[in-house]
Amino acid sequence: MNLENLYQLYVKSYLVDTDTRNIRKNSLFFALKGEHFNGNKFAEKALALGATYAVVDEIKYQTNSNIILVDDVLTTLQKLANYHRRKLGTTIIGLTGSNGKTTTKELINTVLSKKYKTTATKGNLNNHIGVPLSLLSIKPETEIGIIEMGANHQKEIEFLASICEPDFGYITNFGKAHLEGFGGVKGVIKGKSELYTFLEKNAKIAFINPKDAIQVEKTKAITTIPFEHSIEFLSINPYVKLSYQSEIIQSNLVGRYNFNNIAIACTIGNYFNVSTHDIKTAIEGYVSNNNRSQIIEKVSNKIILDAYNANPTSMLAALENFNSISASSKTIILGDMFELGDDSDKEHQAIVAFVNDCNFENTYFVGEHFYKVNTSKNFFKNYNDFEDFLKQNPLKHQSILIKGSRGMRLERTLDVLN
């Protein structure tokens, strides 16, 4: 079956599913393969659960006329997504960066949805599978789509940009994330800048932070739109407060680092003629979730939960912010940072050194990487050891920062802090 014919099946419902646990009626099921699963085996089950057609790439699973055989299911999914993108009249904003992608995406979507019909990447579906699925979730009536693109190695952003073909692009920052895959900080800059390369080659537009020298340098040959000039940071304790076009905006986001995320949402909103009042309302109404800079009250403790992910850049930013806010007694609980390769020991030691220069009442480091650089009493080789300690030494009347990489799952600490 050629791509156009497959597309005609897709547009009957505009629904694509890849997991038989979440099949929607009349969807098109793509039988993806993984390291530990083979979606081809579930083609018949998908149809039985309500999918209209299933796409497979192993002939033995093509058992009826509603099962479509292709050379490669994943490649077909990606090609279909790009085909759909080209059929749409939707404006696409592509977003990447080392830190803050998801929060920035949600802020932009919140602002733009005040005036437009929008669709944005759900959660962090931002890889070679997630981006196609995000594009295929866009309906014809959608006016603006915000597509988040993640990467942990060279050429990944180049590939994802070629699928979603953004009209506008924004890179949140260039930080010490996925150093192992990118080959160091220079590799991060090169890899993330593949979005700029696409924009330049296709005469598209980049939104930029004019105070980020890398962004300014890398976009010299691109039409750029800098942060809206009237945006001004005012204060934080712990929430970011700013001025925008003479309006005071009190956000629900903690961390000085979130100012830039708010600034780009205001800038993009202004570019697309969203009113100042609606921008203010959108920003003030946005509340972070999913373990990203959440404020949580637990008995006598006030917690900043930022345990969705961590790298040296985001960890340092969170610590700097926590160190600057006013609180009588402050405790930090930090988990390992992953995917740092040969830089792991150095980067974990640098975080420990920074913490030692701060005035925190209690400091706890959890995980093998932190334990490797220091084995004193407040360093724990694994989470279970730390949890046992915490049960015997409960924290009370503290302001607590919890941050670590996703694999550490430090949100588990909340149950112990009850």
The predicted model gives 82-106 an average pLDDT of: 95
What's the full length of the chain, in residues? 418
- Please report the pLDDT score of residue 103 as a whole number: 93
Is residue 132 reached through a cis peptide bond, with omega within 30 degrees of 0 on the bond before it?
Answer: no
The predicted model gives 114-126 an average pLDDT of: 94
* pLDDT tier for residue 124 given thresholds of 50, 70 and 90: confident
Q: Which two tokens stand for residue 319?
A: 């610590």
CA distance 199 to 182: 21
The predicted model gives 183-192 an average pLDDT of: 93
Q: Does domain 294-416 have CATH number 2.60.120.260?
A: no
The pLDDT tens digits for 199-243 are 999 999 999 999 999 999 999 999 999 999 999 999 988 899 999
Top-level class of domain 3-72: alpha beta
pTM of the model: 0.90
Q: Are 332 and 401 in contact (CB under 8 A)?
A: yes
CA distance 284 to 286: 6
Neighbours of 355 (CB within 10 A): 17
Task: Look at the alpha carbons of 394, 398, 404, 407 in this order and tell me if their dihedral is positive or negative.
Answer: positive
Expressed in percent and rounded to 5, the helix, strand and coil fractions of the chain are: 40, 20, 40
The pLDDT tens digits for 322-373 are 999 888 899 999 999 999 999 999 999 999 999 999 989 999 999 999 999 9
For 186, the enclosing helix (H) or strand (E) is: helix 185-192
Give per-residue burial for 129-151: e unless 16+ CB within 10 Å, then b: bbbbbbbbbbeeebebbbbbbbb
**Distance between first and last Cα of the chain:** 57
CA distance 85 to 339: 33
Torsion from C-alpha of 296, 297, 301, 306, nearest 10 degrees: 0
The pLDDT tens digits for 378-401 are 999 999 999 999 999 999 999 999
Strand-pair partners of 96? 171
The backbone region for 97, taken as left when phi is positive above 0, alpha when psi lies in -120 to 50, beta otherwise, is: left
Neighbours of 252 (CB within 10 A): 16
* pLDDT tier for residue 180 given thresholds of 50, 70 and 90: confident
Q: Are 327 and 394 in contact (CB under 8 A)?
A: no
- Please report the pLDDT score of residue 365 as a whole number: 97
The pLDDT tens digits for 263-283 are 999 999 999 999 999 999 999
* pLDDT tier for residue 17 given thresholds of 50, 70 and 90: very high
* pLDDT tier for residue 177 given thresholds of 50, 70 and 90: confident
- Please report the pLDDT score of residue 298 as a whole number: 84
Instruction: Kindly report, as residue ranges, where domains of CATH 3.40.1190.10 are found in the chain.
Output: 88-285
Q: What percent of the chain has pLDDT over 70?
A: 100
Instruction: Kindly report, as residue ranges, where domains of CATH 3.90.190.20 are found in the chain.
Output: 294-416
Top-level class of domain 88-285: alpha beta
Radius of gyration of the chain measured on its C-alpha atoms: 23
DSSP 88: -
pLDDT of 292 > 90? The answer is no
CA distance 416 to 418: 6
Q: Which two tokens stand for residue 170?
A: 């924004």
The pLDDT tens digits for 307-326 are 988 999 999 999 999 999 88
The pLDDT tens digits for 28-84 are 999 999 888 999 999 999 999 999 999 999 999 999 999 999 999 999 999 999 999
Q: Are strands 330-335 and 362-366 parallel, antiparallel or unpaired?
A: parallel
- Please report the pLDDT score of residue 291 as a whole number: 74
The predicted model gives 133-148 an average pLDDT of: 97
- Please report the pLDDT score of residue 181 as a whole number: 86
pLDDT of 290 > 80? The answer is no
